[in-house]
């Protein structure tokens, strides 16, 4: 609660927390998009890798 107070109200699982190289929370994603969700899975996967690449490049 002290380190990540913004998570106090998140009630969804799984929850992915994107933290940049400086330790700042940049994005929080809740829920699951598995292969069975079709287009939602493809979009999530593409966005996930694109965002990780952008964080890594900073």
Structure tokens at 10: 């998140």
**pTM to 2 decimal places:** 0.72
Give yes or no for a contact between 29 and 15, defined as CB atoms under 8 angstroms apart: yes
In tens digits, what is the pLDDT along the chain, a chain of 58 residues? Answer: 777 777 777 777 888 889 999 999 999 888 888 999 999 999 999 999 999 999 999 9
Q: Is 26 helix (H, G, I), strand (E, B) or coil?
A: strand
- Site of tokens 């969700």: 37
């Amino acid at each position: 609660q002290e380190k990540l107070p913004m998570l106090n109200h998140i009630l969804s699982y799984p929850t992915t927390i994107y933290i940049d190289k400086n330790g700042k929370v940049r994005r929080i994603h809740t829920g699951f998009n598995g292969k069975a969700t079709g287009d939602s899975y493809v979009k999530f996967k593409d966005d996930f890798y694109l965002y990780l690449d952008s964080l890594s490049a900073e």
